[in-house]
Structure 1
Amino acid sequence: MRRMRPLDEEKPTRRQRIVRGTLVAGVTVLALLLLLVTFGGPTKTTSDQAGPSADTKAVRPSASSVPRIPQLPVPATYDTARGWDITDSSPTYAVAGSTGLVAYLARTDDDRYLVRTVDPATGKAGWDGQPRRTLFPPDRYPRLLSVSAGEGQEYFVTWSYGRVNQSSGQPGDPIISLDIYSASDGSAQRVEIPWPDPPRVTASGPSVLISDGKATSAVVDPATVDVVSVPPGALGYPKGCKECRKLTQVRGTTVKGLLVSGAKEFWVRGGWYSRKVAPKDTDAASGVPASMTGSYVLASWQLKKGAKDVGTHEVWALHEAATGKAVLQVRCRKPAIRSADDPQLVTSPQGGYLIAGRLAFDLSEKRAYCFEEEDGTRPLVLTTVADDGSAYGARSARNPADALAGGGSAPVMVDLTTAVPETMALNTRLPSTEIAGIGLFRWTDGKDRSHLTGYPHRDDR
């Protein structure tokens, strides 16, 4: 901006201008001489040598900045002599299988963060997002999700919830703020959605689903960031299903529409209805969905009345999300005390295997397993599965988070081609994710710094 000189400000005389110029030149020469004496000559300054900007206070953590790879006690299938390690990252991360990238969050200052990516195969840094502020309190990271929209289109999504201060200084209405990044190049779009109460935001299907945990929802298209609100009256309740209008809950998105459930039975709005796709030997009106991925829905079913084990066993079935067809099913004992957490489907990187708690599915061999003793005791809780069918977990853990934290009676590895669990050493750390032949491990060191470490599979296994 140009400075407007007041009318009464005197102009410097020509002599004054010459004296000032001479003084400035003299100071410049003295400064140059001092630099030469101190450093012995000119030094080129690069962006790495410059001090950190206000946006980035530290050198980006990556494999190249880690002097030594941590030697963690992990399953013998991983090579701890190779790999990479990132420190001070967010507690959560997300993966994009088709692009082969892992995303995590890093703080740039007290109230801002950015999305960073890493190539898991090499540990090399990928793209960075722009610094953003979160609507959560400063000590909390935004949530981080990944979305597979089909045809190789994948996205990373961060979201937070809160109020935005208005120009008046008064807090405004609560909103959900989402930043949606293309996993391939980091290009980003932002969308803000008014929402009265703390939301549930998920991305298990091809879109981002926002809900109140019940029947009110909105769907965000990650490609266009178009938002479609779906009120309870527009859920397309199946005719004749009285239980569908009780405890109604929007569960996820499929390529055919919203997945919705009632107290019993479930359906895809405008698509299929669970009563018409019930697995063999089950009560067609008893289906309850537990979780889903982009391609499959996991549901529990009660056996038909009169079956000899109807009081002790139930059926778990894997359904195609697009058609509802039950592709695999297995019987398990009903737990004495049912967990508040439904088993969550986890897919191997190439999609050939799926696990969910004590359940495992081999799509190529058309096999399904329930890992528990005959009396239902000592069930496994599986956390991760690789493309070769190696699954990892723990016996008698409460849930996957408990197993990853070292809970349960013993860590195990299961080769799903033989379905024989093998007990590992008690201090073995379990991988939380598999991608591109790399196992990802989350842990915290003695200085309370969070780490994300990647180890490749051994070449000689």
Structure 2
Amino acid sequence: MRQRIVRLTLVGGVVFLALLLLLATCGGGSSGSGDTGGGDGKGGGSSAGATTPAASASAAAKPVPGASGTRTVLNVPPQYTTDSGWEVVGASPDIAFSWPTGTLAYLERSADHRYRVRTLDTATGKLGWRSEARQTLDPESYPRLLTVSREDRQFFVTWSYGTAGDGLAPSETFISLDVYAATNGDRHHVELPWNGAPAVSASGPDIVISDAHANVALIDPVTGETSKIAASELKYPKGCADCRKLTEVAGQTSRGLLVSGAREFWVPGGWYSRNVAPKGADPATGVPTSVAAGLVLAKWQPEKSSKLAATHELWTVHDAASGKALVSVACHRPAIQPGRFPQAVVPPSGDYLIAGNLAFDLVAKKGYCLEDEDGSSHVTLASVTDDGLAYGARNVRDADEALAGGGVPVVMNFVDGSDEPLARNVRLPVAETTGVGIFRTTDRDDRQHLIGYPRAG
């Protein structure tokens, strides 16, 4: 499927009618190939991100009434304008960002069920580099896509898991990864034999593959070199009996792997959670739940003598390099523990962190728990911007449901932690970068649309 970037432009009725008359007089100037992505797949083409309304009208999606030939106009929060922007039709479920360069990466599928990595400049919508078509180990689905940073360089990583089907026994499964430099698409290909469903993360300088326990493989994104670490090689904190129970690798920090046990967590050869417990917490109860952008989000049980011990948990953001507790907030303990904890989300500036109904201002050292006084209802946050606005919804199970249009959408301000309802049909931004909000929607043909709308004003 060929992808097109469409520049969204609102045109007055008189100008639009004049344009139609001109096209009719000139024989219809929108019958070109429409391949705005650039034929060589390397430079992106000079016309990318600047397709005219006439050309976009020939695309697969029908124009939206009143949008003068644009494909899709969403109802968005008032902080954004739909007067201009860009759109991608047929993008993959996973997208990834290189914050320093303002680059977004997504996957496009070819006719033979292979895929390409495609990039664009989020500020302009202009297409960047496009990779060669690659085969995934599961032809029925896209590979996964994520971003990893090392030595001030960013890389986009695709990975899939399965069997090759050629020369391998069915029991011989492996992970196939392609690592692309975010700036120009230079690629490393890595294949690694692996038994059991892998967990792949990129919270630290390496790509970390684990078996959901304590056996891991590390891939250097710069060189593609792989190293394996067995569970028996991990160093455990002295005197921590629970560290050897349910041991698993939770992520990676700049100091090394982040490891957790049934309770308590540590960086082997680095810091130990019992020594960095936040004020008011039982130091032997820490559990890391998410790692992002040099930060660790962990939950703790309050001290047994505390009035909150029976009803609340203490949530704390820690510096991943030192383990230092940065900011904490207490929240009601859920009646039923979630199957998986919310993933921490950090904007490009790194000034804020959100996860589920938790919000942290890392500059002002404030934490917020967005729930009713009795803990019966709460807001689930899904995205956060550099200027201290977080978007989410009430009455949803998770952030994905909020981004898909479920529940009652809200916007939360970090000044005082208050949230205000938005219109019920508002779509929430997946992220914001370079002053542009990134939105998702799905059309009647079940194609994913990525749309960039700039900040209003």
Alignment check: 8 A CA contact 1:155 1:222 kept = yes
Report if the CA contact (8 A) 1:328-1:366 is conserved: yes
Aligned to 2:395: 396
Superposition pairs of residues 239-318 of structure 1, within 5 angstroms: 239-318=238-317
Q: 1:70-149, aligned counterparts within 5 Å?
A: 70-136=72-138, 138-149=139-150
Aligned-pair RMSD on alpha carbons?
A: 2.3
Query: Aligned residue for 1:20?
Result: none
- 1:358-437 map, 5 Å: 358-408=357-407, 410-437=408-435
- Which residue type is aligned with residue 412 of structure 2? V
User: CA separation of 1:209/1:66 partners in 2, compared to 1, >3 Å: closer, same or farther?
Assistant: farther
Counterpart contact for 2:299–2:314, Cα < 8 Å? yes
Q: Cα 1:449–1:284, aligned 2, differ >3 Å: closer, same or farther?
A: same
SS state at 1:74 partner? coil
Identify the residue that residue 61 of structure 2 maps to in structure 1. none
Please state whether the residue corresponding to 1:402 is helix, strand or coil: helix
Tell me, yes or no, if the aligned pair for 1:75 and 1:424 is still in contact at 8 Å: yes
Is the contact made by 1:61 and 1:87 (CA closer than 8 Å) also made in structure 2?
Answer: no
8 Å contact from structure 1 (residues 316, 329) kept in 2: yes
Q: Which residue of 2 aligns with 1:222?
A: 221
Q: 1:155: which partner in 2?
A: 155
- Paired residues of 2:41 and 2:129 also in contact (CA < 8 A): no
Deviations 1:352-400 (A, max 9, x none): 1111111111122111111111111221110000111011000131111
Alpha-carbon offset, residue 244 of structure 1: 0.7
- Offset, 1:228: 1.3
Pairing partner for 2:442 from 424, 430, 444: 444
1:130 Cα offset (Å): 1.1
Task: Please say if residues 66 and 86 of structure 1, whose CA atoms lie closer than 8 Å, have aligned partners that are also in contact.
Answer: no
Closer/same/farther in 2, CA of residues 346 and 177 from structure 1, 3 Å limit: same
SS at match of 1:98: helix
Equivalent residues of 1:89, 1:451 under 8 A apart: yes
Aligned twin of 1:164 = 164
Deviation at 1:204, TM superposition (A): 2.2
User: 1:176, 1:447 → 2: CA distance?
Assistant: 31
Paired AA for residue 267 in structure 1: W
Q: Which residue of 2 aligns with 1:200?
A: 199
- TM-score relative to the length of structure 1: 0.84
Task: Write the distance in 1 (CA, Å) between the matches of 2:213 and 2:436.
Answer: 37
Structure 2 vs 1, CA of residues 362 and 48 (structure 1 numbering), >3 Å: closer, same or farther?
A: closer
Aligned pairs for 1:15-54 (under 5 A) are none
Structure 1 residues 69 and 350, CA, compared in 2 at 3 Å: closer, same or farther? farther
CA contact (8 A) 1:330 1:369 kept: yes
Distance in 2, matches of 1:174 and 1:287, equals: 35
Specify whether residues 445 and 143 from structure 1 end up closer, same or farther in structure 2 by C-alpha distance, changes over 3 A only. Answer: same
For structure 1, the residue ranges without an aligned partner over 5 or more in a row are 1-45
Residue in 1 aligned with 2:345? 346
**Which runs of no fewer than 5 residues in structure 2 stay unpaired?**
1-31, 58-69
Counterpart code for 2:105: A
Rg comparison, structure with higher value: 1
